[in-house]
Amino acid sequence: MGLSAGIVGLPNVGKSTLFNTITNSSVLAANYPFATIEPNVGVVKVPDERLDNLAHLINPDKITPAFCTFVDIAGLVKGASQGEGLGNKFLANIREVDTICHVVRCFDKKDISHSYEGVDPIRDIEVINYELILADWEVMEKRFSKIVVKAKTGDKQALVEEKVCRNIMQTLKNGQFAKTVLMNDAERQLVKSYNLLTMKPILYVANIDEENVADPKANIHYQKLAQFIVKNTQDQLVAVSANIEYEISKLSEADKFIFMQDLGIKQPGLDRLIQMTYKLLNLCTYFTYGKKEVKAWTFIKGMLAPQCAGIIHSDIEKGFIRAEIIKCDDLLHFKSETIAKENGKLRIEGKEYIMQDGDVCHFRFNV
């Protein structure tokens, strides 16, 4: 279960620079899947110092982080959903992603042109959002034309779907995202199959001036953007300087630390972007731990132990017997599974156990 994010934005907002950063940070194809699928796809590891700390205890043959896939979409312009520019033909590529990273220009540089007059992050957001709404409207029109015929036969499921479709279409018509429609769990599950862009969580990425990288709040455009998002959405905002991130991505680990120290930042913006996206999607991490491999696995908060075992392999879920679990912090403290067990930190959990972030697991199963 890897995280996938689609990057959208107007032309010349720093989207390409951010994606070049991701490409520079891409994991090796020899070690991780999907690293070289297409030119517009980049795969990076999910930053988690717990994984490195666990690996230092045992020096495994292999260390495997969780990964995040980024899909780059050509710069959208007004009218993209009707065929303007290049972005329209790429919109379909992000229907399958988990979340959208919307890059917004918050820097003043006269030598870099803008699609419109002056820098106005609120206007830019509304342009892109409108195109996403129009793209979803087209999907809903096609779906509604089919379901309304079926509903006329009296099919109960179709009647429910027809009502949901009407509510979503009215909301889109009013210029609002589909995710603002009140729906129960069953209705949300139904709508999930539509892969609507406006149902996805959004992480707004404010591309700020280099001089504001240590204090984004000093950037007036960022301030306006933050106020707008808090007031009008339930989405999240992260500030990065795409140019700085690109420079960081080209450095060695030792040089990165010195460079960031000089800038007054604690971690790369790309790391914060991934971590905030995880939080937005209610994603957590558990670990498997052994001499052959120490590995991070992504799961959704609330999943049960057998479901998490199934992320490794469906046979493990089918034949699940129990999970032997040590908290990551406890294992790092005692530095040994044996010593942690002797101190009562090993727990045996069954099929009803709700997995917790940071669990180090051995799944016992029989197929």
pLDDT tens digits, 353-362? 999 999 999 9
Tell me what pLDDT residue 249 has: 87
- The yes-or-no verdict on residue 125 having pLDDT over 50 is yes
Confidence band, pLDDT 50/70/90 cuts, at residue 29: very low
Separation of CA 6 from chain center? 8
Q: What is the pTM of this model?
A: 0.83
- The yes-or-no verdict on residue 315 having pLDDT over 60 is yes
Q: Are 4 and 98 in contact (CB under 8 A)?
A: yes
Helix (H, G, I), strand (E, B) or coil at 3: strand
Tell me what pLDDT residue 293 has: 97
- The yes-or-no verdict on residue 35 having pLDDT over 70 is no
Q: Residue 7: beta bridge partners? A: 72, 101
Helix (H, G, I), strand (E, B) or coil at 155: coil
- The yes-or-no verdict on residue 279 having pLDDT over 50 is yes
Helix (H) or strand (E) holding 144: helix 121-151
Cα distance between residue 106 and residue 13, in whole Å: 8
Helix (H, G, I), strand (E, B) or coil at 102: strand
Helix (H, G, I), strand (E, B) or coil at 326: strand
Give the tens place of pLDDT for each residue, 194-206.
999 999 999 999 9
The helix/strand count (H/E) of the chain reads as 13, 12
Tell me what pLDDT residue 70 has: 86
- The yes-or-no verdict on residue 151 having pLDDT over 80 is yes
Tell me what pLDDT residue 85 has: 45
Q: What is the DSSP string of 43-92?
A: EEEPP-HHHHHHHHHH--SEEE--EEEEEE-PPP-TTGGGT-TTGGGGGG
Confidence band, pLDDT 50/70/90 cuts, at residue 123: very high
Average pLDDT, the chain: 87
Q: How many residues does the chain have?
A: 367
Cα distance between residue 243 and residue 91, in whole Å: 26
Lowest mean pLDDT among 17-21, 120-124, 241-245: 17-21
Strands 283-289 and 293-300: antiparallel
Structure tokens at 274: 């991934």
Q: Residue 72: beta bridge partners? A: 7
Q: What is the mean pLDDT of residues 201-217?
A: 92
Lowest mean pLDDT among 65-69, 74-78, 185-189, 357-361: 74-78
Q: Are 73 and 93 in contact (CB under 8 A)?
A: yes
- Minimal CA–CA distance to 360: which of 336, 332, 325? 325
Question: Which residue's entry shows tokens 């907002």?
Answer: 13
Tell me what pLDDT residue 18 has: 86
- Minimal CA–CA distance to 244: which of 270, 210, 279? 210
Tell me what pLDDT residue 114 has: 59
Helix (H, G, I), strand (E, B) or coil at 109: coil
Q: Are 356 and 287 in contact (CB under 8 A)?
A: no
More confident residue, 150 or 19: 150
Phi, psi of 262 (to 5 degrees): -60, -35
Count CB-CB contacts under 10 A for residue 318.
13
